[in-house]
A = this chain, B = another copy of it.
Amino acid sequence: MLEAKLSDAVILKRLLDSIKELVTDANFDCNEEGLKLQAMDNSHVALVSVKMDADGFVKYRCDRPMPLGVNLGALTKVLKCAKDDDVCTLKAADDADVLNLTYEAKNSDRIAEYDMKLMDIDADQLGIPDTEYDARVTMPAAEFTRICRDLSQLGESVRIEVSKEGVRFASDGEAANGSVLLKQTEAARRKYADYGKDDVEAEGEQEGEAEGSKTKKVKKEKVKKEPGDEDTEMNGAEEDAEEDDGGEFKAKSDDEGDGEEEKSDADEDSSNKKKRKKAPASANGKAAKKSKKKSGDDDDDGSVGGVSIEMNQHVTLTFSLKYLVNFAKSQSLSDTVQLMMSNDVPLLVSYKFGQGHIHYYLAPKIGDE
């Protein structure tokens, strides 16, 4: 059975708000590592991957892995019945066809309980490419939202060009062409120096979670895991942030060396194999920052303009703004967004929050389509 208690229902509410327009039905795959959702958008153009780590819950228990087929519209409705600060508990019996959600007011004079029907959803195995990106752009989520919205008024696509100096977002439209250049600033570089170094990528394929994740009992710590050889090493010192569960694609951060992960190496081998815990929460200290989204920590996200760029080579790609605007809704979950790009490879838009992360993949437009 599954029992997951979240301290504030608002996290789940925001998560659903972020993806419910993109995906109508999806499986929440739960195992002892946490909850994971991967799905193509309704038109099969974009891919969404959400992960909520067990560590992010007040209480988390999952006896055995199981997929919870959920209609996201229905779940959104049910979540709307929760107050933002309600303690939210998700429960599902092992072969249940319902997901039970309990909302408790922090003062306990109100208890609401909902049972939502589950459905069987074909888990289309999603092949998330295991890519080492040539460019990683870290910037304030609000900036990204603004740019996408602005440019979407002009045209349907945006051309994103990454160079050492900065990122340019350009769109050509009927009535006007627009271009926004964000320069890399020292302040931004410093601010994001160790951001997302260990958990940015790594959407394991299903495979990873199916057996690998369960089998591992590993550390709850925030050590990043190696895509391939997680069980064996404990290079806690590396902050590359490879956190691919499946090993299908691993994220590369060109400049490691920050070494800010906590080492929980001790437990590495202890866990069977597959310790794909990327500590989203504590590792790199970003997760912590993110969680304060609305708090407006000035020195971190909001106040500093500019972007931080890490790259191996120039990248120029064109994307549908409609999707990017949609992705940008996750701004509610994090102050910071990262764009991972390589030429001719799907863009990865990543938002990390206290309890996990949400990744969006979007294939580039080719030629002048």
Contact = CB atoms under 8 A, between A and B. Distances in A.
A180 B110 contact: yes
A178 B78 contact: yes
A147 to B, nearest CB: 8
A303 to B, nearest CB: 10
What does DSSP make chain A's interface, helix, strand, loop or mixed? mixed
A90 interface: no
A74 interface: yes
A162 B344 CA distance: 63
Nearest to A108: B183
A81 B112 contact: no
Contacts of A150: 80-81, 112
B117 A178 contact: no
A151 B114 CA distance: 10
A182 B305 contact: no
How many of these chains are in the complex?
Answer: 2
A111 interface: yes
B176 A116 contact: yes
Output the residue of A113, A176, A178, A305 with the most chain B CB within 10 A.
A176
A179 B117 contact: no
A16 B195 CA distance: 41
Contacts of A111: 180-181, 183
Contacts of A143: 110
A181 B105 CA distance: 11
Contact of A112 (B110, B153, B181, B188): B181
A122 interface: no
Interface in A159-201: 174-183, 185, 188
A178 B109 contact: no
B81 A153 contact: yes
Contact of A305 (B74, B107, B153, B154): B107
A267 B154 CA distance: 46
A305 B115 contact: no
Nearest to A150: B81
A150 B181 CA distance: 44
Contacts of A178: 78, 81, 112-115
A306 interface: yes
A183 B114 contact: no
A314 interface: no
The 8 A-B residue pairs with the shortest CB-CB distance, nearest first, are A74-B175, A81-B150, A116-B176, A109-B305, A109-B306, A112-B180, A114-B178, A77-B153
6 contacts: A80-B153, A109-B185, A110-B143, A110-B306, A112-B181, A114-B179
